[in-house]
Amino acid sequence: MGLKRSSRWRVRRVRHWIKSSLWVVPGAYAAVALGTGVALVAFDHSSPLQSPLDLSAASATAALAALGGGMITFTGFVMSVVLLVVQFGSSQFSPRFLRWFRDDPVIKHSLGTFIATFVFALTATALSGRGADSIVPYRALVGAMVLTAASIAWFLALISRTSDNLRVAHVIQRIDSQARRVFDDVYPVSSTEVEAAQQAAASVDPSSTVQEVRNPDVGGILVAVDRDELLRIAERHDALIEMCAAVGDHIAAGGLVVRVYGDHKLPVRPLSGALMFGDERTIEDDPAFTLRLLVDVAIKALSPAVNDPTTAVQCLHRIEDVLRYAAAKHLSTGVVTDQQGTVRVLVPAPTWDDLVALALDEIRAFGSGQYQIVRRLRALLDDLTADLPAKRRPALTTQLELLDEAMERAIPLAQRSDALVADRQGLGLAIRPPSSDQ
Range of the domain at 271: 190-278
Residues 155 and 15 placed together within one structural domain of the fold = yes
Helix, strand, coil shares, percent, the chain, to 5 = 65, 10, 25
Residue at 413 is within a domain: yes
Dmax of the chain from CA atoms?
98
pLDDT given for residue 207 in this prediction: 61
Positive or negative torsion for Cα 82, 83, 88, 91: positive
Residues 236 and 291 placed together within one structural domain of the fold = no
Residues 325 and 218 placed together within one structural domain of the fold = no
Residue at 227 is within a domain: yes
Q: Which residues, at least 6 apart from 98, have a Cβ–Cβ distance to it below 8 Å?
A: 86, 87, 90
What is the distance in angstroms between the CA of the first residue and the CA of the last residue of the chain? 67
Residues 108 and 19: their CA atoms lie apart, in Å, by: 9
Residue at 387 is within a domain: yes
Nearest to 334 by CA among 285, 386, 369, 292: 285
pLDDT given for residue 228 in this prediction: 85
Residue at 172 is within a domain: no
Query: Global pTM?
Result: 0.84
Phi, psi of 344 (to 5 degrees): -115, -30
pLDDT confidence tier of residue 2, bands split at 50, 70 and 90:
very low
Higher per-residue confidence, 201 vs 58: 58
Residues 274 and 295 placed together within one structural domain of the fold = no
| b/e per residue 198-233 (b: at least 16 CB within 10 A) | eebeeeeeeeeeebebebeeeebbbbbbbbbbbbbb
Nearest to 323 by CA among 347, 298, 288, 297: 288
End-of-domain residue from the set 278, 298, 325: 278
Percent of the chain whose pLDDT exceeds 70: 89
Residues 356 and 269 placed together within one structural domain of the fold = no
Amino acid identity at 93: F
Residues 29 and 137 placed together within one structural domain of the fold = yes
End-of-domain residue from the set 240, 257, 278: 278
pLDDT tens digits along 112-147: 999 999 999 999 998 886 545 667 888 999 999 999
Residues 44 and 127: their CA atoms lie apart, in Å, by: 10
Helices 105-127 and 24-46 sit at what angle, rounded to 10 degrees? 30
pLDDT tens digits along 320-329: 999 999 998 8
pLDDT given for residue 380 in this prediction: 96
Q: Which residues, at least 6 apart from 208, have a Cβ–Cβ distance to it below 8 Å?
A: 261
- Region of poorest pLDDT, from 82-86, 163-167, 179-183, 188-192: 188-192
List, in sequence order, every residue forming a beta bridge with 422; answer none if it has no partner: 431
pLDDT tens digits along 203-226: 666 567 788 889 888 889 999 888
Rounded to an integer, what is the distance from CA 202 to the centroid of its chain? 33
Residue at 30 is within a domain: yes
CATH number, position 223: 3.90.1170.30
Residues 303 and 355 placed together within one structural domain of the fold = yes
Q: Is 260 helix (H, G, I), strand (E, B) or coil?
A: strand
Q: Is residue 7 classed exposed, middle or buried when 0-12, 13-18 and 19+ CB atoms within 10 A define those classes?
A: exposed
pLDDT tens digits along 423-432: 999 888 776 6
Nearest to 37 by CA among 58, 64, 77: 64
Residues 206 and 223 placed together within one structural domain of the fold = yes
pLDDT tens digits along 93-106: 887 777 777 788 89
Beta carbons of 311 and 256 less than 8 angstroms apart: no
435: phi > 0 → left, psi -120 to 50 → alpha, else beta; which?
A: beta
For residue 314, the tally of other CB atoms under 10 A from its CB is 22
Quick one: DSSP state of residue 211? E
Residues 256 and 399 placed together within one structural domain of the fold = no
Q: Which residues, at least 6 apart from 148, have a Cβ–Cβ distance to it below 8 Å?
A: 67, 117
Residues 54 and 136: their CA atoms lie apart, in Å, by: 10
pLDDT given for residue 342 in this prediction: 79
Phi, psi of 422 (to 5 degrees): -80, 140
Does the pLDDT of residue 15 top 90, yes or no?
A: no
Beta carbons of 241 and 260 less than 8 angstroms apart: yes
pLDDT tens digits along 246-303: 999 999 999 999 999 888 888 888 888 889 998 888 888 888 999 999 999 999 999 9
pLDDT tens digits along 341-353: 778 888 888 889 9
Residue at 98 is within a domain: yes
pLDDT given for residue 433 in this prediction: 58
Rounded to an integer, what is the distance from CA 199 to the centroid of its chain? 33
Residue at 436 is within a domain: no
Residues 299 and 246 placed together within one structural domain of the fold = no
Residue at 55 is within a domain: yes
Residues 292 and 235 placed together within one structural domain of the fold = no
Mean pLDDT of 372-382: 95
Count of domains observed in the chain: 3
Residues 70 and 126 placed together within one structural domain of the fold = yes
pLDDT confidence tier of residue 53, bands split at 50, 70 and 90:
low
Does the pLDDT of residue 399 top 90, yes or no?
A: yes
| b/e per residue 23-55 (b: at least 16 CB within 10 A) | eebbeebbeebeebbbebbeebeeeeeeeeeee
